[in-house]
Structure 1
């Protein structure tokens, strides 16, 4: 099963959403009861290692939870009544009984607790779980929209979830992406995310389709009542009329007059894509038009959000696949560049004097009167950084050599075996000049091997990753333009070893790390 813990196998998922930590059993029982439901909690054997941690990222009808007890415990919640619990062990094992079914859950076998069946659990010492809490009513509504039938009785799933099945592994990857979104802030997960309903519907729908249940036969080939081209036309019209809105498949299928599943099949039959893919492609076309006609001062991010995209890094990837270039390149192409001094009222000599005066100042005035950072005359010595600064980031040593509003340059000492995972700079171009050693740089689908004297160019909006697999240290010079928030970001990341926190902080500083595949 896809690793749902941190990429390095250590640490604590959803740490930014800590509810509590306690070594007191009664306090743990009371706090977990408030989050889920009243239950019995008792220790089994020695309790010296009892240490309960609960992190929770709440959505609308669905929440993401990390829970551990440390010691071996027995839990008796009885009937959950109004929610399902999908439990993925990140470490350790747990014996789970739901109704008449007994499941030993571990890293390759998750479990779902059906609310209509009585549950009992025994967590082994050291067991840690990611738990997805799904509202019973919300799951029922998505199921009814999927199959186009009203369900009078609760949906009961097979409790054992086989993590080795490709469908389940794919769902786990989607869940992992939601976890990383939750770590990056309220605008990515929760009430602050305008696309929260879409994310939750997609997670619930994919789980309904991939996990055996009492409605599984509705998803078999030939079981869904076929939607017609009329339904597809209605759906397309609804999408076009509401393109910038965070549309759920439930809303689209209701406007079309058929079930979600029937609409998905009809889109595949008539258009060769899903409704979600069709909506994405239409948004990309509209974005392309706006990028080609954008007035001066327009940002790529403004256009992406205005046409309905919520993740700038994902927008950049999809846009490049559709149009063969980064959105920033299209935006630059739409702006004619003219350098005209004919009516400036200054001679070339006067302009040179003015420029010289600016170079000797640490700050100068923008046309609107505000100050901005400028270059200063001087030398940054080979063994020094600006103001004596250096940072340790992802196991590599970064020493800043130049920092202005327009650009930033830093030296990097890159030990063998270290790497920078796949990420995107949506607002910066980046380059690397290799001084000694060897690097492998993955840009999009290409892998570039760079040695001494080589320069690697990485335009903004392109996914790239940097690896030293050479067996020896590499020394390189990095540069970005403009500098944006990168100097501040390296200060925040200095010495940080928590990958989830690294990704969260980076996203706040305009660097988006991609979730693991």
Structure 2
């Protein structure tokens, strides 16, 4: 993300002043090496992606976070030992860690290169409320995330989106629906990871009825071109996320996400089959929220037995 340079310094005092945008109070002590900090950042509507490099080992103490964000650390290199309320957890190349709003902490930091994913606190809490009636304070349990398929997907997708933001030809390089869809997907995956990590004493929302599942299905059908995640579907149906997922699968044989993907693929196909001269596969796909075109093409072919370009070519030959 070198095109999005936000800050760079070799002065520790300047680094602390920059960090004051995140914490009300912070103090760093160099334990080894020569100080150097480079911070590159691309900001969306509800998320920020920051590529950060630190050249030396630092001990940092921070209090009173100013910004209402959850922050997830994906290392390319280096290691951070985080200490919160007497608990110690680690982030490195194999382990991801999360800071929540209101978290006072100390960190023992080795030289690193990492991708920092920052997500709007209100959006995260609202999504988690859809899943749990009761949840302990995040600062009391949140730290390192346990390995899972969702976490691996979130790590790889975050890195891919960061690269695409650097690519001037990518739909994600500018504002618009493709980038908003990407943000929505990152937020949804992040919430899945938190839900997997939530303490056992958390209370999930109760299961819903068939009427609520039908309401969810109808809402999806009416909003295929909009940006939404499972939390919005659940809210529209008046049901908790976990209950929605169980009930929806029981009545329709798939998850709400899988249903929405299938309906979006069908809508893309209709666009291609009725295409005018200016319609392209890319424009049809991104209009329905498919911005990773390689994966979209694979899904399309699996569903319809032909590539989207073949569908468009056949339509052109029929005209």
TM range (shorter): 0.7 to 0.9
Question: Structure 1 residue 173 and structure 2 residue 156: aligned?
Answer: yes
Within-5 A mapping of 1:65-464: 65-80=50-65, 82-124=68-110, 126-147=111-132, 149=133, 154=138, 156-163=140-147, 165-184=148-167, 187-188=171-172, 191-192=175-176, 193-196=179-182, 198-210=184-196, 212-214=197-199, 217-218=202-203, 223-336=204-317
TM-score after normalising by structure 2: 0.86
User: Do the aligned partners of 2:36 and 2:54 also contact (CA within 8 Å) in 1?
Assistant: yes
Q: How many residues align?
A: 315
Relative to structure 1, is the Cα distance of residues 182 and 324 closer, same or farther in structure 2, using a 3 angstrom cutoff?
A: same
Residues 276 and 76 (structure 1 numbering): CA distance in 2 closer, same or farther, change over 3 Å? same
* Compared CA separation, residues 337 and 37, structure 1 to 2 (3 A): same
Superposed CA deviations along residues 24-66 of structure 1, whole A, max 9, x for unmatched, are 11122222323x224434333454x321111122223322222
- Counterpart CA distance in 2 for 1:273 and 1:238 is 16
Question: Quick one: distance in 2 between partners of 1:335 and 1:70?
Answer: 56
Question: Is the partner of 2:317 in helix, strand or coil?
Answer: coil
Cα separation, partners in 2 of 1:104 and 1:238, compared to 1, 3 Å? closer
Mapped to 1, the partners of 2:277 and 2:69 lie a distance apart of 51
Supply the distance in 2 between the matched residues of 1:197 and 1:171 (Cα, whole angstroms).
11
* Greater helix fraction, Structure 1 or Structure 2: 2
Do the aligned partners of 1:84 and 1:112 also contact (CA within 8 Å) in 2?
yes
TM-score (ref. length: structure 1)? 0.55
* Other-structure match for 2:23: 37
Query: Which protein has greater RCO, CA pairs closer than 8 Å, 6+ apart?
Result: 2
Give deviations 1:258-287, integer Å, cap 9, x for gaps.
112211122222222211111111111122
Compute the RMSD of aligned alpha carbons: 2.8
- Partner Cα distance (2:69, 2:174) in 1: 18
- Which is greater in Rg? 1
Alignment partners' CA distance in 2, 1:171 and 1:200: 7
Match of 1:458 in 2: none
- Offset, 1:323: 0.8
CA distance in 2, matches of 1:207, 1:43: 33
